[in-house]
Amino acid sequence: MVNLHNIKIKKKQSNTLQTMLNFQVINPWPENERNKRDNLLIRWVIGNLQPFNIVENKYFIEMIKQFDSRYKLPDRHKLKNLVIEFFNQKKNLINKTIDAIPGKASLTTDMWTSLNNDSFLGLTIHYIDSKWEFKHFLLDIISFKERHTSHNISVEILNIINEYNLSGKLIGLTSDNEAAMVAAGRTIEDELKANNNTLFKHYRCAAHILNLAAKQGIEIIDVEVSKVREVMSKIKNSVLLCDSLKRLCEYQNLEYLKPELDIKTRWNSTYYMIKKFQKLEPSLRMLAANERVINDLLPTNEGLTKIEVYFYN
């Protein structure tokens, strides 16, 4: 009770606190059973990127209470400490695994940007274990806040290499052919060789080189491919056009294939997009007769012949 100008006011408790008080655990689990449930909670929080204060959400508390009335949820501070402890355990396991590698190891790295424009640098380790089985696992993912310069990239990768004492164990690093990444690979190679690791080499990803070569070749029919891409995009983003195309496929006894767009970093996705377009072409021609927007976008017969000659000869 709080006395303010002789007026008695009840001190209001937060909904979360009141809920937790109402859900006092009776006959809680012994320590080993509680730890099992704590570990499941930790994995769920990490795997689903949940905030620590989820354990103080009244609806979450109600759900856990219903599922397991003997489990006492940790508060957000305890949960944070449990997650940090779990991380340290996993990191120690990684160190032990690396120490047990009987021979050499190599790394692959890639940088990508998420849908919300956050950049990440991933580093994966590859090796053969004592049973002659090929193994690999994700060594680290770095949230990249800095500019994507070769210096910044090489500093981050070298930090991880030094953190796990890998400088003398590595024989190679493979990356894509982006200029900054190639320059970073050269810097890392020079640094490790200066530390007596003369075997280390930086390699450019063969699949990425093939993709670049294929993309350059596709530029010969870029106008025609762009038209196919526009048609597929227009239909894919319109429920009405999709439904119309589906009905026309049924009318012509053709299998309806959902319109597909290619991805810049995968040249074979362009091939699959065109392949699907060719299978749908009879129905697309009929659709174009009623839909001017499709008719204006369809490649000419000459253009389709050009695509077919390029892709199949």
Contact 153, 181 (CB under 8 A): yes
Domain coordinates in residue numbering, the chain? 13-94, 101-204, 215-312
H helical segments located in the chain: 15-22, 31-47, 58-67, 76-99, 150-163, 179-194, 206-218, 222-236, 239-251, 267-290, 292-297, 301-312
Global pTM value? 0.66
The low-confidence residues of the chain, meaning pLDDT below 70, are 1-25, 310-313
Q: What is the pLDDT of residues 107-118, one digit of tens each?
A: 999 988 877 788
Phi/psi of residue 174, nearest 5 degrees: -110, 135
3-state per-residue secondary structure call for 57-83: CHHHHHHHHHHCCCCCCCCHHHHHHHH
Cα(111)–Cα(182) distance, rounded to whole angstroms?
12
Cα(228)–Cα(223) distance, rounded to whole angstroms?
9
Q: What angle do CA 27, 32, 34 make, to 5 degrees?
A: 50
Give me the sheet containing 105-113, strands edge to edge: 134-144, 119-128, 105-113, 170-175, 201-204
Neighbouring-strand partners of residue 140? 123
62 C-beta neighbours (distance < 10 Å), count: 13
Q: What is the pLDDT of residue 222?
A: 82
Phi/psi of residue 197, nearest 5 degrees: -100, 85
The per-residue b/e assignment along 212-241, b for 16 or more CB within 10 angstroms, e otherwise, is: beeeeebeebeebbebbbbbbebbeebeeb
Q: What is the pLDDT of residues 257-294, one digit of tens each?
A: 888 888 877 778 888 898 899 899 999 989 998 888 88
Contact 214, 267 (CB under 8 A): yes
Report whether CATH 2.40.50 matches the domain 101-204: no
Cα(67)–Cα(159) distance, rounded to whole angstroms?
44
**Hey, what are 254's tokens?**
């053709």
At residue 164, the 3 state secondary structure works out as coil
The type of residue at 272 is Y
